Amino acid sequence: MVMATKMEAIQAGRTSTKVMTMIQAINQGLRTMLEADETTILLGEDIGKNGGVFRATEGLQDDFGEERVVDTPLSESGIIGASVGLAVNGFKPVAEMQFMGFVYPAYDQIMTHVSRLRMKTMGRFSVPMVVRTPYGAGIRAPEIHSDSAEALFTHMPGIKVVCPSNPYDAKGLLIAAIEDPDPVIFMEPMRSYRATRGDVPEEKYTVEIGKGALLEEGTDLTVIAWGAMIPLAQKAAKAAAQLGIHCDVLDLRTLYPLDLDLIASSVQKTGRVVIVHEAQRTGGLGNDIISSINDTCFLHLRAPIGRVTGFDVPVPFFALEEHYLPTVKRITQQIESVYRF
């Protein structure tokens, strides 16, 4: 078994690490950048005094002041639109959308300006901005608090989309996102905020945007997932191993641009694929992954590609969310079915 993220830390020879949850790692990533770069500015609803509804920004306003950790009006388009102005004028805004289902009022600003300002001004103006947003179902949250809208943004040109699954990647990718010269949507799997723990170096480090990780190594089938689906994919891979099916588990980590080389190298080896995402199936990112496999691995495939996804329905009220979300059982069954094709 290869733990890619841990390996990176070991290879880098880091000694000062601490076990933390993902939410702590995100907090530390923000702190690191507030310390390292005085142009970093945090904006969002309830991120200051309250430290964020998930405590991602806890303590940061106390340490960096109201000017750099800004409690904004309840105004998503306002936050993103004002961040565009800050970004073109020398600041690096890290804007929090309280839940991904709350990003829609800001969609216009992201689609019509954030994504295309660099192109239309041929580089004269750019928008180095990060939009942090907790996403996903599974924590019995109220309506609209559980959406997983990555495909809206992977479809949007000019935007990078990142989604860590563990504390190490969360901090490293967040720092990379803040340092990136272009806009990054940073999706945080809220059900993993406190459910995942791991070693996180205390120093500043980055995880490269655009690179996935091979979390588990097998020979028979490739499971592709990201974010909150990773722990489920890993459990399903373990269950499949009991049945004699050995899986590669890929954590994409970046959803745009996809790590096509990693996907191709794994699928060319295994010839079988199961893609797992909690967003709705139609128009989902899984379909782009299938297209890329079609381009690079057509003659290597030994079975039709399987998908375990949310259904083509609005993310339901939480009483039904366990039926909407992929489960270990559904994934394991799909692995078996693809394997036995």
Partner 1 sequence: MEASFPMKQIMDEEGRLVDPSYQEQIDEKLVQQLHYHMLRIRTFDRKAISLQRQGRIGTYPPFEGQEACQVGSALALGEGDWVFPTYRDHGATLTFGADMVRMFLYWNGRQEGCVAPPGKHIFPAAVPIATQILHAVGASWAEKRKGTDRVAIAYFGDGATSEGDFHEGLNFASVFQTPTILFNQNNGYAISVPIERQMNSKTIAQKSVAYGMPGIRIDGNDCFAVYFETKRAVEAAREGNGPTLIEAVTWRTGAHTTADDPTKYRPSGKGKDIVDPLVRLERFMKNDGYWDEQAVKTLQDKLNDEVETAVKGMAEFPAPNPEDLFDHVFAVLPPQLQEQKEFYLEFLKG
Give catalytic residues, as residue numbers.
145
C-alpha torsion angle, residues 126, 175, 276, 317 (rounded to 10): -80
CB of 112 vs partner 1, minimal distance in Å? 4
The residue (of 82 and 151) whose beta carbon lies closer to partner 1 is 82
Binding site residues, partner 1, CB under 8 A: 41, 67, 72-73, 75, 77-78, 80-91, 105, 108-109, 112-113, 116-126, 157-158, 160, 181-182, 210, 256-258, 260-261
Which 3 state secondary structure label does DSSP give 12?
A: coil
164's tokens: 């860590």
Q: How many CB atoms lie within 10 A of CB 199?
A: 17
Strand-strand pairing, 213-216 and 184-189? unpaired
Instruction: Using alpha carbons, list the distances in angstroms from residue 179 to 27, 127, 128, 184, 208.
Output: 16, 12, 8, 10, 11
The residue (of 142 and 257) whose beta carbon lies closer to partner 1 is 257
CA-based nearest residue to 200, from 179, 218, 174: 174
209's tokens: 């945007």
The residue (of 2 and 144) whose beta carbon lies closer to partner 1 is 144
Instruction: Using alpha carbons, list the distances in angstroms from residue 182 to 211, 215, 259, 291, 334.
Output: 17, 28, 18, 26, 37
CB of 275 vs partner 1, minimal distance in Å? 18
CB of 124 vs partner 1, minimal distance in Å? 5
The residue (of 161 and 305) whose beta carbon lies closer to partner 1 is 161
CB of 279 vs partner 1, minimal distance in Å? 20
CB of 42 vs partner 1, minimal distance in Å? 13
Q: How far is 28 from 20, CA to CA, in rounded Å?
A: 10
191's tokens: 């059900």
The residue (of 91 and 324) whose beta carbon lies closer to partner 1 is 91
The residue (of 121 and 337) whose beta carbon lies closer to partner 1 is 121
CB of 181 vs partner 1, minimal distance in Å? 4
List the Cα angle 20/102/196 in 5-degree steps.
Answer: 15
Q: How far is 216 from 223, CA to CA, in rounded Å?
A: 9
CB of 79 vs partner 1, minimal distance in Å? 8
Instruction: Using alpha carbons, list the distances in angstroms from residue 159 to 51, 102, 133, 210.
Output: 27, 18, 14, 12
DSSP 8-state code for residue 23: H
328's tokens: 């270990």
The residue (of 84 and 237) whose beta carbon lies closer to partner 1 is 84
Which 3 state secondary structure label does DSSP give 107?
A: helix
Q: How far is 233 from 274, CA to CA, in rounded Å?
A: 10
